[in-house]
Amino acid sequence: MLRLLDERGLTNHVLVITRWHVRPEDCAVLNSFKNIKLTLLITHSGIDDERIEPVDSTIAATSLRTAFEHAERYRTVLYWRPIVPGLNDSDEHISRALDLAEHAHATVYTGLFYKDQIQQFYLENGLPQPYEDGARRKIFPEELEQRILAAAAARPAGCAPLFRKTSCGVAYGHGVADYNGHYGIRELCDICPLSQVSLCAKAWTPPNTPDVAAMAEALGGKLVTINNRAVVVAGLDEQRRYRLQHHFGYQIHDVDKPHLVHQHGRAGIGWPVPQEAS
């Protein structure tokens, strides 16, 4: 599939996510593509409980090192996820993950998408519940994030920069502006390298209202408003919102599912009540 995309001359970002074996011969194939902006995201959790994570995390760790060592035309991202209190958030777990970050062009971290199905799995298998309630968005408590950022800041130079959003890490790896327009959600940028913030700032422009309105209507929804953080729409599912977002390079939010300040894309569990929403 990657070959077919590349042979068409497409220069799109293409993200490949895996936690399985990546060998030098695989890297040779990945390096052979000349057009697509390819990123290999190696998912690594470090969770030791086989009932939750049946795939040994050392496989992903080895794959990350191999992929990074052989990377020429593609980029490698440490996909550090999910980070769950009581499972893989000890100082030792965090230290091991930050060690791995030295073998990546960028590191993206996030919490657990504790949906009803996952919560039911935990209950049926007698696993300790990491949270009392499920949530529509990933759960990542503020205290946990602060511990990770403090641990990263205390390390010597060499650790790959940390990013809260996948597209931010991918864009940094390729030296381009974030294609999801996260620069509008300015609090996301406080951990990004200044060079990347500058790059994103130059590319970030609020879209023209008639253009957004027309495209939202063509996709079956409607424009509600455009503010300095995002375009707010109604009646569009996630995939159609992404269509708008990638076209305009600006955040597109559902009016019925607002992103709260400092909790963009995260559930409110483990966070103080925010003062405002976008």
pLDDT confidence of residue 261: 83
Average pLDDT (57-78) is 98
pLDDT confidence of residue 155: 86
pLDDT confidence of residue 218: 98
Q: Are 182 and 165 in contact (CB under 8 A)?
A: yes
Q: How many CB atoms lie within 10 A of CB 232?
A: 19
Taking alpha carbons only, the member of 80, 201, 218 closest to residue 149 is 80
In this structure, what token pair is assigned to residue 28?
Answer: 């040779």
> Could you tell me which residue, 276 or 243, shows the higher pLDDT?
243
For residue 139, give the DSSP letter. B
Helix pair angle (209-218, 238-248), 10° resolution: 150
pLDDT confidence of residue 273: 66
pLDDT confidence of residue 69: 98
Average pLDDT (226-251) is 96
d(CA 109, CA 173): 15
pLDDT at 99 over 90: yes
Buried/exposed code over 134-170 (b: 16+ C-beta within 10 A; e: otherwise) = bbebbbbbeebbebbeeebeeeeeebbbbbbbbbbbb
User: What are the E-state strand segments in 45-176?
Assistant: 75-80, 106-109, 162-163
Q: Are 152 and 98 in contact (CB under 8 A)?
A: yes
For residue 125, give the DSSP letter. T
In this structure, what token pair is assigned to residue 66?
Answer: 């191999």
Q: Mean pLDDT score of the chain, rounded to an integer?
A: 93
In this structure, what token pair is assigned to residue 231?
Answer: 């375009």
pTM exceeds 0.85: yes
Confidence of residue 274 (pLDDT cuts 50, 70, 90): low
Average pLDDT (182-207) is 96
Beta bridge partners of 39: 15, 75
Taking alpha carbons only, the member of 132, 195, 133, 205 closest to residue 168 is 195
Q: What is the CA radius of gyration of the chain?
A: 19
Confidence of residue 278 (pLDDT cuts 50, 70, 90): very low
